[in-house]
């Protein structure tokens, strides 16, 4: 049983962690809502296309031809990644101003059955881009992302403290009671409690995985500086390769080495993940769970042989598993709709929390009244 002192402390934690993060969380919930349907939205807005349903497939699509086509569209840029779409028969080719540039300068979509160029996906404009950038870093780069991660951490503390104070607040009420016949403040308090406790696991999971996702760039950077650098060490200082084998050879070598896995994406030579002498082919499993995990294979650009293979470290596995649990993109459209409904309820919890604080700005006083009542009742029983 919580003492009056500890209830007061937890109320204080709930109030202040919530107050600091609420406006940012509202922004995240509002921008996150359309982003649940990001793929559909991109197609609807004309940023992306679905490949045609019926085509005459060619015997074998030359991936190297896609890469050459992409390169020809931006001759001064460097090809960074070749990425397979999870849902449609499509490949993406991403380019940067340099191979090590963190930002994409272009992203091209190709039909994987015919090799046809489909569309250029906008990388620096459009509604989806604005929503995503607001959601990820508020147009403030890595510091913005880390700041939002800290707000997410405060939010998680606020939710946990909310669970702790839920008990004492509900000692007089049946579960789910909404006192409509009382003051609006009590009605909103009841709604805040009901919606908050009923959605708490979803909110915590999306909150914690969101915080983990804010660390993606530091974690990838750390992996690159440690394990990838170790893997590339034997080739350090060697002369630049004379000729590159086509990416198709690298993909075939990776598929032969991991016959139960599929290519998710390929990092091109000179990008930070591949180094000058290799392709890095990232393979994924075939089930919903293992399909999210990656296994990187280093393929020599001159021989197209596997130079090294290493499982991802635990922190990148955690990052990769955090993505679906944050995005809600792993259970078809009904899961996305459920995700949106939970998100809307989270907005109501945030707004009602703000309202409760605003109506009784001196919440401490309100808490004390509650606690005195609780203590009086407690000693009587």
Partner 1 sequence: MNVTRTTGEIWGMPLILAVVTTFGLISALLGDDMWDRLSWLALAAPLIVIGWHFTRRPTSCRN
If we measure between CA atoms, which residue out of 23, 99, 93 comes closest to residue 65? 93
How near is the Cβ of 297 to partner 1 at its closest, in Å? 24
CB contact at 8 A, 167 and 2: yes
The candidate with the shortest Cα–Cα distance to 165, out of 6, 328, 363, 330, is 6
Taking the complex as a whole, the smallest distance from the CB of residue 47 to partner 1 amounts, in Å, to 27
Cβ 337 to partner 1 shortest distance, Å: 9
Q: For partner 1, which is the closer residue by CB, 197 or 299?
A: 197
1, exposed or middle or buried, with CB in 10 Å at 0-12, 13-18, 19+? exposed
Nearer to partner 1, 52 or 378 (CB): 378
Instruction: Work out how close the CB of 196 gets to partner 1 at its nearest, in angstroms, rounded to a whole number.
Output: 10
Q: At 300, give phi and psi (nearest 5°).
A: -65, 130
Dist CA 18 CA 294 (whole Å): 36
Residues that bind partner 1 (CB under 8 A): 166-167, 170-182, 191, 194-195, 197-202, 205, 287-289, 292, 324-325, 330-332, 334-335, 338, 341-342, 345, 377-378, 381
CA 58 to chain centre: 35
CA–CA dist 356, 184 (Å, integer): 10
Q: Identify which of residues 171 and 310 has a Cβ nearer to partner 1 in the complex.
A: 171
Sheet holding 78-84, edge to edge: 117-121, 106-111, 90-96, 78-84, 262-267, 278-284, 294-300, 306-309
Question: Of the two residues 145 and 371, which places its CB atom closer to partner 1 in the complex?
Answer: 371
Q: Of 300 and 343, which has the nearer Cβ to partner 1?
A: 343
CB of 197 to partner 1, least distance (A): 5
* Spatial CB neighbours of 86, under 8 Å, sequence gap ≥ 6: 291
**DSSP H/E element including 78:** strand 78-84
- List residues bridging with 295 in a β-sheet: 283
Give the Å distances, CA to CA, from 153 to 25, 183, 241, 344: 11, 33, 46, 20
Nearer to partner 1, 118 or 346 (CB): 346
Q: Is 52 helix (H, G, I), strand (E, B) or coil?
A: coil
Is 315 in a helix, a strand, or coil? helix
- Closest to partner 1 by CB, 246 or 324: 324
Q: Least distance from C-beta 364 to partner 1, angstroms?
A: 23
- Per-residue tokens: 157: 């503390």
Q: How far is CA 123 from CA 68, 79, 104, 133, in A?
A: 20, 15, 7, 11
CB of 324 to partner 1, least distance (A): 7
Is 191 or 304 the residue whose CB approaches partner 1 more closely?
191
Find the shortest distance in angstroms from Cβ 378 to partner 1.
7
């Amino acid at each position: 049983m919580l003492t009056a002192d500890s209830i007061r402390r937890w109320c204080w934690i709930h109030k202040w962690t919530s107050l600091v993060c609420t406006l940012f969380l509202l922004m995240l919930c509002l921008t996150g809502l359309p982003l649940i349907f990001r793929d559909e939205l991109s197609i609807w807005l004309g940023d992306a296309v679905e490949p045609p349903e019926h085509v005459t497939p060619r015997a074998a699509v030359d991936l190297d031809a896609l890469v050459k086509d992409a390169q020809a569209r931006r001759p001064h840029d460097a090809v960074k990644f070749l990425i397979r779409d999870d849902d449609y028969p499509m490949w993406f080719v991403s380019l940067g101003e340099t191979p090590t540039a963190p930002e994409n300068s272009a992203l091209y979509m190709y039909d994987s059955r015919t090799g046809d160029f489909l569309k250029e996906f906008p990388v620096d404009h459009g509604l989806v881009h604005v929503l995503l950038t607001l959601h990820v870093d508020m147009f403030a780069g890595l510091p913005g992302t880390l700041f939002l991660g800290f707000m997410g951490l405060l939010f998680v503390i606020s939710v946990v403290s909310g669970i702790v104070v839920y008990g004492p607040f509900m000692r007089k009420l049946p579960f789910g009671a909404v006192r409509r016949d009382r003051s609006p403040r009590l009605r909103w308090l009841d709604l805040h409690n009901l919606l908050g406790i009923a959605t708490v696991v979803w909110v915590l999971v999306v909150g914690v995985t969101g915080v983990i996702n804010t660390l993606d760039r530091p974690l990838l950077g750390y992996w690159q500086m440690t394990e990838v650098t170790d893997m590339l060490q034997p080739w350090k200082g060697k002369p630049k390769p004379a000729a590159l084998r086509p990416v198709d050879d690298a993909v075939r070598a990776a598929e032969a080495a991991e016959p139960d896995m599929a290519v998710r994406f390929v990092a091109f030579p000179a990008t930070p993940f591949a180094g000058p002498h290799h392709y890095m082919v990232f393979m994924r499993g075939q089930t919903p769970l293992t399909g999210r995990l990656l296994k990187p294979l280093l393929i020599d650009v001159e021989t197209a042989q596997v130079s090294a293979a290493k499982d991802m470290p635990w922190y990148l596995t955690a990052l990769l598993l955090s993505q679906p649990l944050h995005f809600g993109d792993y259970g078809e459209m009904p899961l996305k709709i459920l995700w949106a409904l939970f998100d809307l309820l989270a907005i109501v919890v945030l707004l009602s929390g703000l309202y409760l604080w605003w109506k009784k700005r001196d919440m401490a006083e309100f808490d004390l009244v509650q606690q005195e009542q609780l203590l009086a009742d407690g000693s009587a029983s």
